[in-house]
């Protein structure tokens, strides 16, 4: 029986679909077995699938590639799907409940109310997720999973909503026996792996620069405070470069290789050559890129006001992720225009990831976030491979907090070190004892080989004399 669960995730973006498969051990360690990508061109626009047949074909190709990484005896039956789009945003809602005096408000009660919020009717929109914020019982703030006694509960939640067509358009792409475990807003799953608990507590803005959209999330005091989407992204820059009479592929290449968010010093107006011998002037490229990225940055900056957030209160500053975040000098431009410290996102240090996957983790934050969000096994073993062996019962996996797991592993390592030290000490004492016994035995044998000493000779003479006297007495 496998001791690990296979998690399969599909991220539907505007410029590509990315799939990943990994295992999640009973200890919570995620091992990435493979990540594959299929390019898209106009099939998805700002999150909405406009060509489901093409996207469905690309997903089937991804599933085939991922299946090859786990062998023929296993089959992918379901996936986690990450979605985003222009309509994705958070709405604030307050849940209030009265209970009999002295009721113990447990985590189960709170989770039940949280699940009830998923069923709230919102015209023309789906609730994709319900994120809890503060919980108070009789006016007392609840921290962690504390159980409080009281009669009045108030809980703030963020409803992560999007147009109902967003999820329906994605659902049309999963046919032929491939199920969807859960649709996950990538803004949430990416924040989970890119932001530490310290970041969330101190306050941080996470900006995900995608192809067609840019999502903005703000966390403070450990909770999600704001989530919204800007309908601009990296493809807008590519399309602007195309106005310089180059193809889409050449425009993307110019952006990635030579594009910059800032003009650094005096630039000479040199001629740049594309892959198909097309030519553009460097100053023209700089002007086009700079104009569009400054528009996107201005929109990001405006969300501090939309969220009614004092940027000085965000102790962890701004974290940027996404393909378009790789644009040269973007962090410097954001720091200057938004008056906040900026850093590029990376996988949280307390995330348990195998060493082989660490090197590319910053490029795969979105898909890694989906893998970490998965709990249910997505792969089944074909019946023919089981033969006639008795099936073992499935052991329910209890998710382990990464910090708790690291503490357990550290404690286990220290226990093993102590045991090893004691073992070596016992072996050294036993070896010392055996050596002492060996030396004593050698000494005895050596003394025997030498014969009796002076004292021994005197003793023998006395014994002989006594024998003679005894013999004489016996003759009387």
Render pLDDT for 396-436 as a digit per residue (tens, 0 to 9). 444 445 555 666 666 666 667 777 677 777 777 777 777 78
Tokens of 240: 């602007």
Mind listing the pLDDT tens digit for each residue in 294-347?
999 999 999 999 999 999 999 999 999 999 999 999 999 999 999 999 999 998
pLDDT for residue 174 is more than 60: yes
Burial of 328-348, coded b for 16+ CB within 10 Å and e otherwise, reads bbbbebbeeebebebeebebb
Of the candidates 198, 191, 196, 239, the residue with the CA atom closest to the CA atom of residue 215: 191
d(CA 346, CA 320): 9
d(CA 248, CA 241): 8
> pTM of the predicted model, to two decimals?
0.77
What string of H, E and C letters represents the secondary structure of 369-422?
Answer: HHHHHCCCCCEEECHHHCCCCCCCCCCCCCCCCHHHHHHHHHHHHHHHHHHHHH
Superfamily per CATH, domain 199-347:
ATPase, nucleotide binding domain (3.30.420.40)
d(CA 296, CA 303): 11
Strands 30-39 and 4-12, sheet pairing? unpaired
Mind listing the pLDDT tens digit for each residue in 75-100?
999 999 999 999 999 999 999 999 99
Mind listing the pLDDT tens digit for each residue in 243-296?
999 999 999 999 999 999 987 666 678 888 877 778 899 899 999 999 999 999
Per-domain boundaries in the chain: 199-347
340's CB contacts (< 8 A; 6+ apart) are 205, 311, 314, 317, 318, 334
Answer whether 106's CB lies under 8 Å from 148's CB.
no
pLDDT value of position 100:
94
**Stretch 167-185: mean pLDDT, rounded?**
92
Across all residues in the chain, what is the average pLDDT?
Answer: 85
Q: Which ranges of 99-175 does DSSP label H, i.e. alpha helix?
A: 107-117, 164-171
In this structure, how many other beta carbons lie within 10 angstroms of the beta carbon of residue 362?
Answer: 15
d(CA 362, CA 345): 7
pLDDT value of position 468:
44
């Amino acid at each position: 029986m496998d001791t690990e669960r296979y998690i399969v995730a599909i991220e539907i973006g505007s410029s590509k679909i990315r799939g990943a498969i990994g295992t999640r051990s009973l200890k919570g360690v995620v091992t990435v077995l493979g990540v594959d990508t299929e390019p898209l061109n106009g099939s998805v626009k700002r999150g909405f699938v406009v060509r489901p047949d093409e996207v469905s074909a690309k997903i089937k190709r991804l599933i085939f590639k991922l299946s090859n990484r786990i062998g023929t005896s296993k089959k992918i039956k379901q996936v986690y799907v990450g979605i985003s789009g222009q309509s994705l945003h958070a709405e604030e809602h307050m849940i209030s409940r009265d209970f009999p005096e002295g009721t113990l408000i447990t985590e189960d009660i709170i989770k039940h109310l949280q699940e009830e919020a998923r069923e709230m009717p919102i015209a023309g929109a789906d609730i994709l997720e319900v994120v809890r914020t503060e919980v108070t019982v009789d006016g007392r703030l609840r921290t962690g999973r504390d159980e409080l006694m009281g009669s009045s509960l108030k809980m703030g939640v963020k409803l992560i909503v999007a147009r109902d067509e967003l999820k329906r358009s994605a659902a049309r792409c999963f046919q032929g026996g491939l199920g969807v475990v859960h649709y996950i807003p990538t803004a949430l799953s990416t924040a989970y792996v890119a932001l530490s608990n310290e970041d969330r507590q101190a306050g941080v803005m996470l900006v995900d620069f995608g192809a067609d959209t840019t999502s903005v999330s703000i966390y403070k005091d450990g909770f999600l405070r704001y989530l919204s989407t800007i309908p601009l992204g990296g493809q807008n820059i590519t399309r602007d470069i195309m106005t310089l009479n180059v193809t889409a592929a050449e425009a993307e290449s110019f952006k990635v290789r030579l594009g910059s968010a800032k003009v650094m010093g005096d630039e000479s107006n040199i001629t740049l050559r594309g892959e198909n011998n097309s030519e553009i002037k460097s100053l023209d490229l700089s002007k086009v890129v700079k104009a569009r990225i400054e528009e996107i940055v201005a929109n990001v900056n405006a969300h501090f006001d939309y969220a009614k957030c004092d940027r000085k209160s965000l102790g962890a500053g701004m974290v940027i992720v996404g393909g378009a975040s790789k644009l040269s000098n973007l962090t410097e431009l954001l720091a200057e225009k938004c008056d906040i410290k900026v850093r590029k996102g990376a996988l949280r240090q307390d995330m348990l990831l195998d060493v082989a996957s660490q090197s590319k983790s910053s490029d795969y934050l979105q898909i890694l976030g989906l893998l970490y969000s998965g709990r249910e096994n997505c792969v089944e073993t074909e019946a023919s491979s089981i033969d006639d062996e008795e099936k073992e019962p499935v052991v329910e996996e209890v998710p382990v907090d990464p910090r708790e797991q690291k503490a357990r592993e550290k404690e286990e390592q220290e226990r093993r070190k102590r045991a090893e030290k004691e073992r070596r000490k016992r072996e050294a004492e036993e070896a010392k004892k055996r050596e002492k016994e060996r030396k004593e035995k050698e000494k005895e044998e050596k003394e025997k080989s030498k014969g009796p000493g002076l004292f021994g000779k005197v003793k023998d003479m006395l014994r002989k004399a006594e024998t003679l006297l005894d013999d004489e007495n016996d003759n009387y």
